[in-house]
């Protein structure tokens, strides 16, 4: 059963890609991208998990207490905050496409010229 957390990460990633591929709406597509991105958080945190470990914060805890890996957490938490601006950028592009082409369906905008 110990592979289950990794399997869930892979599953979430595949679900996200499936959503992106079959999407009929650029806003829907942007949210599918956040779902896909959340799989990286799941994978990183699962790798850094130590059985029986607490959070790597030693306020009021004796130093040397078993705790989970802090490096992957540092990677993940900045990733999450940066993802907001990236999603905003994608949505801004989608709004621009809507302004130019009058639609947010990726299938209908293929004739668009720059």
Tokens 């989970």 map to which residue? 68
Touching another protein, residues 76-95 (CB under 8 A): 76-89, 91-95
| Identified binder of another protein from the candidate list 1, 111, 113, 114, rule CB under 8 A | 1
* Sign for the pseudo-dihedral over CA of 85, 87, 92, 96: positive
Confirm if 26 and 35 have CB atoms less than 8 A apart.
Answer: no
Nearer to another protein, 85 or 114 (CB): 85
List Cα–Cα distances, 110 to 25, 67, 87, 90, 103, in angstroms: 14, 51, 22, 18, 11
Taking CB under 8 A as the criterion, the residue among 40, 59, 111, 112 binding another protein is 59
Site pattern 12..51 for another protein (x: CB under 8 A) = x-xxxxxx-xx-xx-xx-xxx-xx--x--xx--xxxxxxx
112 binds another protein (CB under 8 A): no
């Amino acid at each position: 059963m110990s592979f289950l957390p990794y399997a869930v990460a892979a599953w979430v990633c595949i679900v996200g890609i499936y959503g992106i591929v079959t999407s009929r709406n650029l806003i829907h597509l942007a949210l599918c991208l956040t779902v896909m991105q959340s799989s990286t958080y799941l994978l990183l945190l699962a790798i850094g998990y130590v059985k029986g470990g607490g959070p790597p914060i030693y306020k009021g805890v004796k130093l040397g207490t078993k705790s989970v890996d802090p490096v992957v957490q540092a990677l993940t938490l900045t990733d999450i905050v940066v993802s907001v601006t990236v999603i905003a950028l994608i949505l801004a592009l989608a709004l621009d496409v809507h302004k130019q082409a009058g639609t947010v369906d990726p299938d209908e905008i293929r004739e668009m010229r720059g």
